[in-house]
Every structure is written in C-alpha cells, then in structure tokens.
Amino acid sequence: MPNSVFRFATVSGQGIRWLLRRNCSVTPSQLGWLYASLCLVSLLIGAGFWWHGAPLVMPFAWVELAAVGVAFLVYARHAADGETIELQEGRLVVELENGGRWERTEFLPHQVRVEPEVSDRSLITVSGQGRSVKVGRFVRPELRAALAREIRMALRAMPEQGHRAVYSKPMVWPMG
C-alpha cells in the first residue's frame, strides 16, 4: 500500500504504523534546564534582597520554586504520552503510554472493529476477541473519524493470515 494513501500512518515494508503523540513544544530535558536557570535567577534575586535587609523574600522564593517545580514535574511526566497502532505480521498491536504506564494489546486484524465511541468526534474504540482499547486522544476531535477510516481501510487491505496466538488480556507495565 503506498504511503500517499495514509494521512496519519507511515508504511515500511509490510507494516503500517500510526504514531500518535502529544504536541509538546518543550522536551523534559529542556524543561529541566529552564527550571534550573529559573532557580538560579530567582535565588540570586532573593539573595540580593536578603543581603540588603529583606530576609522574607528568600522563603517566598523557595515556595515559588517548589510550586513551579511540582508543575514542571506533572508536565514532564505526561510529555512522552502517546499511542502507537501497528499493523504487521498478521496482527494489530495497540500500545498506550500514559504518565509512565504502558499498555499493549494485540488483535487479529480480521476480527477487529474500529468505531467511534459515541459520535464522530469521540475517541475511537478498537475491539475484538473480547477486548477493547480507546485511541485517538492525541488527534484533534474533528480528525478522529478520518483516522478511524484509515485504520479500517488498512485492516481491509491486510490479507487474512492463519490464526495466530495473541495475548488474552492487555499487558500493563509501569515505566521508570
């Protein structure tokens, strides 16, 4: 299948892969450097006020840096969140990563249903063999129907291969 047919996927060899990620403008390491420079500037200013006889500025600087640090940690924990949907070797593999938690579910392509949860703008439910996974969190709501059509088109084009063993339930591993 040529790659030009797909808007969201990349094609390599016999496989098709949808990599859906959060749109982050700052990586966790860049955020760490930003926080370190913010700490340095804020503590230098606080030390200057301390030196000139205003000792209460420094505790407020520490409280401010702690609050900003917590906010940055929450952001960094979810910066790498994403969904990977891969169709290859007679199986559809859906991997979800959310806040350091990783979940992988495999389906037989010829037994999979791909449909919106409630409406065309809702999350996409991939279901089959008694399991279901919701995908599309990182795609704009108005584009989710197009993503679902693209996945269905790829599943229809996949030749049915012999019944392979797949995992009977999702596997969940904590990250880090």
Average pLDDT over residues 136-163: 83
pLDDT score recorded for residue 126: 94
Measured distance CA(87)–CA(136) in Å, rounded = 16
**pLDDT (tens digit per residue) in 3-24:** 467 888 888 887 899 999 888 7
Alpha carbon distance, N-terminus to C-terminus of the chain: 37
Inform me whether the pLDDT recorded for 175 exceeds 70: no
Let me know how long the chain is. 176
The token pair that represents 18 in the structure block? 């949808």
pLDDT at 12: 85
- pLDDT tens for 130-146 read 999 999 999 999 999 89
Residue 35 class from Cβ within 10 Å (0-12 exposed, 13-18 middle, 19+ buried)?
middle
- Look at the chain and report how many structural domains it folds into: 2
User: Does some domain include residue 136?
Assistant: yes
In the structure, what pLDDT confidence band is assigned to residue 174 with cuts at 50, 70 and 90? low
Co-location of 102 and 154 in the same domain: yes
- Check whether residue 68 and residue 147 sit in a common domain: no
Q: What is the pLDDT of residues 59-116, one digit of tens each?
A: 999 999 999 999 988 888 888 889 999 998 889 999 999 888 999 999 998 889 998 8
Cα atoms in the 13 Å half-sphere on the side-chain side of 3 = 8
Q: What is the CATH classification number for the domain harbouring 94?
A: 2.30.29
Selected residue with higher pLDDT from 168 and 117 = 117
Regarding whether 69 and 43 lie in a shared domain, the answer is yes
**Alpha-carbon separation of residue 4 from 16, 68, 76, 80, 109 (angstroms):** 12, 44, 34, 27, 22
Per DSSP, the residues of 91-115 read: EEEEEEEETTEEEEEEE-GGG-EEE
pLDDT tens digit sequence for 37-55: 999 999 999 999 999 999 9
Report yes or no on 105 lying in a domain: yes
Q: Could you tell me the residue range of the domain that residue 109 belongs to?
A: 7-22+84-162+170-174
| Residue that terminates a domain, selected from 78, 95, 118 | 78
Q: What is the mean pLDDT of the chain?
A: 85
Amino acid at 42: S
Which run of H or E residues covers position 48?
helix 28-51
Q: Which residue in 137, 22, 138, 136 sits closest to 75, CA to CA? A: 22
Residues 71 and 99 occupy one common structural domain:
no
Report the distance separating Cα 1 and Cα 10, nearest Å: 10
Considering the domain architecture, whether residues 101 and 150 belong to the same structural domain is answered as: yes
Strand partners, 17: 10, 86
Q: Are residues 88 and 150 in the same domain?
A: yes
Residue 52 CA to residue 95 CA, distance in Å, equals: 56
The percent of residues in the chain predicted with pLDDT above 90, rounded, is 51
Instruction: State the pLDDT at residue 166.
Output: 41
161 versus 48: which is more confidently predicted? 48
Residues 34 and 18 grouped into a single domain: no
Check whether residue 151 and residue 99 sit in a common domain.
yes
The pLDDT value recorded for residue 2 is: 52
